[in-house]
């Protein structure tokens, strides 16, 4: 049976990807260093599956990572291990350099040797639309220049460049994907949508940065995971693929949408009101991807419209109240990223 490694598989996108791969009967090895954003709650529904194995390992642990590759001989590595929260990157950039740049460098060094002996293996490096920076008009295609605004985005941009340099110089079989904002089940509540849901469920005000006009392209996480599987199966080595929904909404619209969804299902407390808070430094106004390439070349497109996706997301958090309890309260409520 073919084996696949998913790094960062205790996180949001990683655990959703593993769920898909296990359903497809791939043998999945989840490598995760177990940080604050890792959560074993995310893997409970398949943790006892014969198709799943968890190994605690940091990407910077070269010796242990090497042993995992040698033992399991994966046909694909989906690299989702990363520090991802922009506000945290403003507070503590060093962690992002260690994980997103040095960790990827270490992974590339190991994969470089491994892929010479295992010719069919592929590395899929998962990145973000934030590497393109502010896109005030139009949409950023794969040949757009990188112009990251935050330490997080800069660290991801650096990792993308590293991967491509190894493709060009060492001929490693790797592909880079750049995705828009994900939402859905199992997302850490330091991020906008699960934080707003938490506050709605706990009768708290809904904090929105600045004037709420910052616009993002939103994709349901399970659609993203289907795209990653398609890239593995049909993607061309050395290529970059944007993955997006072509659906942009600003933060204020998201907030109002969520209030409406919640009102249809629960009684909302009197404190659930929009509260504008001081904007974070360097906050990009708009991200927007041109995803025509993956549509035309690989035949992938989104299945979940935003209304249905948001309803599914809200219901998941409503029915999984233990998820919030599995996370440190300060990681949910504390405001960071202020200078």
Q: How many domains does the chain have?
A: 1
199 domain-assigned:
no
What single-letter DSSP state applies at residue 98? I
d(Cα 296, Cα 30) in Å, to the nearest integer?
Answer: 31
User: Where are the strands (E) in 199-307, listed by range?
Assistant: 206-209, 215-220, 240-243, 248-250, 274-277
Instruction: Supply the CATH number for residue 103's domain.
Output: 3.40.50.720
7 domain-assigned:
yes
What's the pTM value of the predicted model, to 2 decimals? 0.97
Catalytic residue among 19, 129, 190, 223: 129
Residues 16 and 229: beta-carbon distance below 8 Å: no
Catalytic residue among 83, 130, 160, 190: 130
- In whole angstroms, how large is the CA radius of gyration of the chain? 19
pLDDT tens-place values along the chain, 339 residues long:
799 999 999 999 999 999 999 999 999 999 999 999 999 999 999 999 999 999 999 999 999 999 999 999 999 999 999 999 999 999 999 999 999 999 999 999 999 999 999 999 999 999 999 999 999 999 999 999 999 999 999 999 999 999 999 999 999 999 999 999 999 999 999 999 999 999 999 999 999 999 999 999 999 999 999 999 999 999 999 999 999 999 999 999 999 999 999 999 999 999 999 999 999 999 999 999 999 999 999 999 999 999 999 999 999 999 999 999 999 988 888 877 776
81 domain-assigned:
yes
Per-residue pLDDT at 212: 97
191 domain-assigned:
no
Catalytic residue among 52, 114, 152, 198: 152
Per-residue pLDDT at 278: 94
- Based on the residue annotation, tell me whether 152 is a catalytic residue of this protein: yes
229 domain-assigned:
yes
**Angle 113-118-121 from CA coordinates, rounded to 5°:** 100
d(Cα 82, Cα 155) in Å, to the nearest integer?
Answer: 10
d(Cα 80, Cα 65) in Å, to the nearest integer?
Answer: 15
Per-residue pLDDT at 1: 76
Residues 291 and 243: beta-carbon distance below 8 Å: yes
225 domain-assigned:
yes
How is residue 122 written in tokens?
A: 């592929």
- Based on the residue annotation, tell me whether 2 is a catalytic residue of this protein: no
129 domain-assigned:
yes
**Domain span including residue 224:** 3-186+219-247+283-304
- Based on the residue annotation, tell me whether 166 is a catalytic residue of this protein: no
d(Cα 178, Cα 321) in Å, to the nearest integer?
Answer: 31
89 domain-assigned:
yes
Closest by alpha carbon to 306, among 314, 295, 294? Answer: 314
Per-residue pLDDT at 285: 97
Residue 126 DSSP SS3: strand
């Amino acid at each position: 049976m073919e084996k696949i490694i998913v790094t960062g598989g205790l996180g949001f996108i990683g655990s959703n990807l593993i769920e898909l791969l296990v359903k497809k009967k791939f043998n999945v090895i989840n490598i995760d260093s177990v940080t604050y954003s890792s959560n074993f709650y995310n893997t409970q529904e398949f943790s006892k599956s014969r198709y799943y194995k968890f190994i605690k390992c940091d990407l910077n642990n070269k010796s242990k990572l090497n042993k995992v590759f040698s033992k399991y001989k994966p046909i694909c590595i989906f690299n989702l291990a990363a520090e991802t929260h922009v506000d945290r990157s403003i507070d503590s950039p060093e962690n992002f350099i260690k994980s997103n740049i040095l960790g990827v460098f270490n992974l590339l060094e190991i994969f470089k040797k491994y892929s010479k002996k295992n010719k069919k293996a592929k590395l899929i490096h998962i990145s973000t639309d934030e590497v393109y920076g502010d896109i005030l008009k139009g949409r950023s295609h794969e040949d757009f220049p990188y112009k990251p605004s935050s330490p997080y985005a800069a660290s991801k941009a650096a990792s993308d460049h590293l991967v491509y340099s190894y493709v060009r110089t060492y001929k490693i079989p790797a592909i880079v994907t750049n995705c828009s904002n994900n939402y859905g089940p199992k997302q850490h509540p330091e991020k906008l949508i699960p934080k707003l849901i938490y506050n709605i469920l706990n009768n708290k005000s809904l904090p929105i940065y600045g004037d709420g006009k910052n616009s993002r392209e939103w994709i349901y996480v399970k659609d993203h995971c289907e795209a990653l599987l398609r890239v593995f199966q049909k993607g061309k080595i050395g290529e970059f693929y944007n993955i997006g929904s072509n659906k942009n909404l600003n933060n204020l619209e998201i907030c109002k949408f969520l209030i409406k969804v919640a009102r249809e299902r629960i009684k909302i407390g009197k404190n659930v009101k929009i509260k504008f808070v001081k904007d974070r430094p360097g906050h990009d106004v708009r991200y927007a991807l041109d995803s025509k390439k993956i549509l035309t070349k690989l035949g992938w497109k989104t299945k979940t419209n935003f209304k249905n996706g948001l309803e599914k997301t809200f219901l998941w958090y409503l029915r999984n109240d233990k998820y919030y309890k599995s996370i440190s309260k300060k990681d949910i409520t504390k405001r960071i990223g202020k200078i």
